[in-house]
Amino acid sequence: MTDQPKISIRNLYKIFGTKPHEMVPHVRAGMSKAELLDKHGHVIGLQDINVDMKRGEITVIMGLSGSGKSTLIRHINGLIRPTAGEVLLDGTNVAGLTGAPLRDLRRFRMSMVFQNFGLMPHMQVQQNVEMPQRARGDSEGDARKNALKWLERLGLKGFENYYPQQLSGGMQQRVGIARALASNPDVMLMDEAFSALDPLIRTDMQNLLLELQEELDKTIVFITHDLDESLKIADHLVILKDGVVVQQGEPQKIILNPADAYIEKFVNDINLARVLRAESIMTAGLVTNTHVDGQVDADDNLEHLIALSQGDVARSFVVLKDGVPAGVVKMAAAFKALVPRGSRKAQSGKPPRDDKQQQEQAL
């Protein structure tokens, strides 16, 4: 497997208005979004975006409404052209494709799953799944066989002849995913794909996506405004605000080291005990003479560790990754990680607290 990213976004700008290319120098010189709008009547959609997306990983692009996340994902399949910069797919600049090469990109190499399902209401379920394959020239027999395979894989066997409006929201989204997978793309783009679903169905769909990814190893770009969803499915997390990347990296590292007050606000609203994992707070390496009270898995969350330790801040555990010792996690470090970052900064300069005080603060 090559180390080259599957997708590389380089120095990407998107400016909306009548003369967008003339506005790029102003933005590069430091002109703010408000000032550009006030002085020139143009709107900054994206500003100097640089993101690498590794093959076989789920990259989640997260941000509030208006942050630019949907604009960004539409650059990847060429639905939107950048004002400046590049979107490289295996080294080829998507922004430079037109005509047949661009159509082939969308037919063979990329698929998209939409928030509101995007199914054709006049077509039956099987026809919806077959549609992208038939559009690119696959034979009727091959398209039918592949569609039936994925409908069965996603638990929709027996619903082939139903119409979308006869299905629940969760089932309709399964049809959308089956359609995307049936075309066997290199890259799957998912724009707020689960946002229209009820919470329980949404959780089921997140679990299904992770299960499929374990099997298929696709490159997935997933858009959401939900941090809990981001932390559950992301290998690489990119957080946008007003068209700018505020922070990106491994989700666990972002939680433990938020870049600014904007990220801290997101982090403070989540249950850290359920999100943080043993691997994130362990001391890497294993000291053979270190006393430990048992073993935990690298993916075990801190809620599990607290229950296992019975709240004893003095306990420690060997952390196993793929069955091999990878380090030691001390419960004192676990409780400290649960203290909101703002509280830790407010306590700076004060005498250090003992373990008992740390535990009481964390709880």
Number of domains comprising the chain:
2
Burial 256-275 (b: 16+ CB within 10 A, else e): eebeeeebeebbeeeebbeb
Residue 293 DSSP label: S
pLDDT, position 341:
64
Report the first-to-last Cα separation within the chain, whole angstroms: 45
What pLDDT was estimated at residue 307?
Answer: 95
Antiparallel, parallel or unpaired: β 92-93 and 110-114: unpaired
* Residues 223 and 331 grouped into a single domain: no
> Do 183 and 302 sit in the same domain of this protein?
no
Per-residue tokens: 256: 């433990």
Query: What confidence tens digit (pLDDT) does each residue in 223-276 have?
Result: 999 988 999 999 999 999 999 999 999 999 999 999 998 898 888 878 889 899
Q: Are residue 140 and residue 187 in the same domain, yes or no?
A: yes
Which of 268, 303, 323 is a domain's end point?
268
Q: Indicate whether 19 belongs to any domain.
A: no
pLDDT at 235: 96
Q: What pLDDT tens digit does each residue of the chain (363 aa) get?
A: 457 899 999 999 999 999 999 999 999 999 999 999 999 999 999 999 999 999 999 999 999 988 999 999 999 999 999 999 999 999 999 998 999 999 999 999 999 998 888 899 999 999 999 999 998 899 999 999 999 999 999 999 999 999 999 999 989 999 999 999 998 999 999 999 898 888 888 999 899 999 999 999 999 999 999 988 999 999 999 999 999 999 999 999 999 999 998 898 888 878 889 899 999 999 998 666 668 899 999 999 999 999 999 999 999 999 999 999 999 999 999 999 988 765 555 555 554 444 444 444 433
Q: Are 263 and 239 in contact (CB under 8 A)?
A: yes
Residue 34 lies in a domain: no
> What residues make up the domain containing 142?
55-80+96-268
Encoded tokens for 182: 């049936």
Q: Provide the pLDDT for residue 358.
A: 42
Query: What does the pLDDT read at residue 354?
Result: 47
Residues 257 and 279: beta-carbon distance below 8 Å:
no
Residue 294 lies in a domain: yes
User: What does the pLDDT look like over 95-125, one tens digit per residue?
Assistant: 989 999 999 999 999 999 988 888 999 999 9
Q: How far apart are CA 64 and CA 62, in angstroms?
A: 7
Pair 132, 255 in one domain = yes
Q: Which of 234, 253, 268 is where one domain is finished?
A: 268
Give pLDDT, residue 253.
Answer: 92
The verdict on 119 and 239 lying in the same domain is: yes
Domain boundary among 268, 283, 313: 268
Where residue 154 sits, what CATH number does that domain have?
Answer: 3.40.50.300
Position 14 in a domain: no
Same domain, 258 and 286: no
Measure the CA–CA gap between 56 and 235, rounded to whole angstroms.
10
- Together in a domain, 231 and 296: no
Q: Going by C-beta distance under 8 Å and a sequence separation of 6 or more, which residues neighbour residue 22?
A: none
Is the domain of 113 the same as that of 217? yes
Question: How many CA atoms within 13 Å lie on the side-chain side of 199?
Answer: 2
Q: State the CATH number of the domain containing residue 314.
A: 3.90.1280.20
- Judge if 131 and 194 occupy the same domain: yes
Over the Cα atoms of the chain, what is R_g?
Answer: 24
Which is it for the CA torsion 152, 211, 111, 71, positive or negative?
Answer: positive
177 part of a folded domain: yes
Residue 344's pLDDT is what? 53
Q: pTM of this prediction?
A: 0.86
Q: Specify if 342 maps to a domain.
A: no
Q: Are strands 58-62 and 236-241 parallel, antiparallel or unpaired?
A: parallel
- 18: tokens are 């009548």
Is 315 found in the same domain as 231?
A: no
* Residue 288 confidence (pLDDT): 63
* Residue found by looking up tokens 């039936």 in the block: 148
Q: Are 144 and 151 in contact (CB under 8 A)?
A: no
Report yes or no on 47 lying in a domain: no
In angstroms, the Cα distances linking 216 to 34, 210, 224, 302 are: 44, 10, 22, 29
Residue 230: inside a domain: yes
Q: Are residues 137 and 245 in the same domain?
A: yes
Q: How many CB atoms lie within 10 A of CB 356?
A: 10
Other beta carbons less than 10 A from residue 31's beta carbon: 18
Continuous segment of H or E residues that includes residue 215: helix 199-216
262 plus 282 within the same structural domain:
no
